[in-house]
């Protein structure tokens, strides 16, 4: 596991990693998988060729080769490597100390998290869109890697870590702008952390967190939150309705890197099964009762 140090030196914030950083895909968080079956590859190719209006849904598994861990993979997922669990929506909303701890950890992890780049799977989906093969892309991920790859026919089901919103007035701010405000408020603060979570969070001690200063909304003074759906929260109904309308227009679904254990993703997959009965899962398994043509895992 890499060690990340964040400190202020003569007014300049420095980030150091104990191992060399690289923008190349990394296998550190990629779970083991069996060799590719040529017949399954042909089956997938036939599926894509025959699809006229293809919906693709992606989960955390598509980003592991970019160096971002997922939650559930054996041995390499966050749940397997640590006893840490993601922050709960209700705790963030109700508790100022919880928000302080979250933002301190996120501040340290942001330079590394925001530097991750798309891997070949992201670029392939972007190319499908350019070729007119992709009708719509729905992602559960909050890492913005699909946007970085150029996808525009995109719904970020759970939001995006690159945006911040005010819980009072709803004002949106780019996350990079908030990083600058953190630096101004914490000129001599320093911290050392180990490990990075799928949402850019890192792990700090309570002593490190206690002195961290958190800015408020520039517009109304309200508390700030990343524009993402935390665990225990739900996706806005209008976003779900929008995705369901795209699903009604589709004739097929390709699931990439998702276990479909999140209710919102199950809802989308189930909606397509109800409308078309032509569903395919790749890199995951559909829940029992879903009709599917299985591709390589």
For residue 50, how far is the Cα from the chain centroid?
30
pLDDT tens digit string along 156-169?
999 999 999 999 99
In contact, 284 and 255? CB cutoff 8 Å: yes
Q: Give the mean model confidence (pLDDT) for residues 145-151.
A: 98
The pair phi, psi for residue 59, each rounded to 5°, is -125, -170
Q: Give the mean model confidence (pLDDT) for residues 288-295.
A: 36
In contact, 162 and 114? CB cutoff 8 Å: yes
In contact, 228 and 60? CB cutoff 8 Å: no
pLDDT tens digit string along 195-240?
555 555 677 778 888 999 999 999 999 999 999 999 899 999 999 9
Beta strands in the chain (DSSP E): 3-9, 12-17, 54-58, 134-139, 154-156, 159-166, 172-174, 191-194, 224-228, 252-256, 279-282, 293-294
Residues facing 55 on adjacent strands? 136, 253
pLDDT tens digit string along 19-73?
333 344 455 666 667 788 899 889 888 888 888 999 999 998 899 889 887 665 4
User: What are the angstrom distances between the C-alpha of 193 and each of 18, 161, 262?
Assistant: 11, 20, 29
- Which residues are known to be catalytic? 158
Domains of the chain with CATH codes: 35-294 (3.40.50.1220)
In contact, 280 and 294? CB cutoff 8 Å: yes
Binding residue positions for Zn(2+): 166, 169, 217, 220
HEC string of 43-69? HHHHHHHHCCCEEEEECHHHHHHHCCC
Binding residue positions: 166, 169, 217, 220
The pair phi, psi for residue 242, each rounded to 5°, is -60, -45
For residue 119, how far is the Cα from the chain centroid?
14
DSSP conformational letter for 87: P
Concatenate the DSSP letters of all residues of 3-53 into one string.
Answer: EEEEEEETTEEEEEESS---SS---TTPPP-PPPPHHHHHHHHHHHHH-SS
């Amino acid at each position: 596991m890499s060690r990340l140090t964040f400190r202020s030196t003569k007014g300049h914030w420095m980030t150091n990693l104990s191992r060399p950083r690289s923008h190349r895909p990394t296998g550190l968080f990629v779970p083991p998988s069996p060799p590719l079956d040529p017949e399954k590859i042909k089956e997938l190719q036939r599926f894509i060729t025959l699809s006229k209006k293809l919906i693709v849904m992606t989960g955390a598994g598509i980003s592991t080769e970019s160096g971002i861990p997922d939650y559930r993979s054996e041995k390499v997922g966050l749940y397997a490597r640590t006893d840490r669990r993601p922050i709960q929506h209700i705790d963030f909303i109700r508790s100022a100390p919880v928000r302080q701890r979250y933002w301190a950890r996120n501040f340290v992890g942001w330079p590394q998290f925001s530097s991750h780049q798309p891997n070949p799977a992201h670029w392939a989906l972007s190319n499908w869109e350019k070729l007119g093969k992709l009708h719509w892309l729905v992602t559960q991920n909050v890492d913005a890697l699909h946007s970085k790859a150029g996808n525009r026919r995109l719904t970020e089901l759970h939001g995006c870590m690159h945006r911040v919103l005010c819980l009072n007035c709803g004002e949106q701010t780019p996350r990079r702008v908030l990083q600058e405000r953190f630096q101004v408020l914490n000129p001599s603060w320093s911290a050392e952390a180990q490990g990075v979570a799928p949402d850019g969070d890192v792990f700090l001690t309570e002593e490190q967190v206690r002195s961290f200063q958190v800015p408020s909304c520039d517009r109304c003074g309200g508390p700030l939150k990343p524009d993402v759906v935390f665990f225990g929260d739900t996706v806005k109904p209008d976003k779900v309705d929008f995705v369901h309308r795209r699903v009604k227009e589709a004739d097929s679904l390709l699931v990439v890197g998702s276990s479909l254990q999140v209710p919102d993703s199950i809802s989308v997959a189930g909606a397509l099964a109800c409308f078309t009965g032509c569903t395919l899962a790749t890199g995951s398994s559909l829940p029992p009762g879903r009709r599917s043509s299985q591709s390589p895992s």
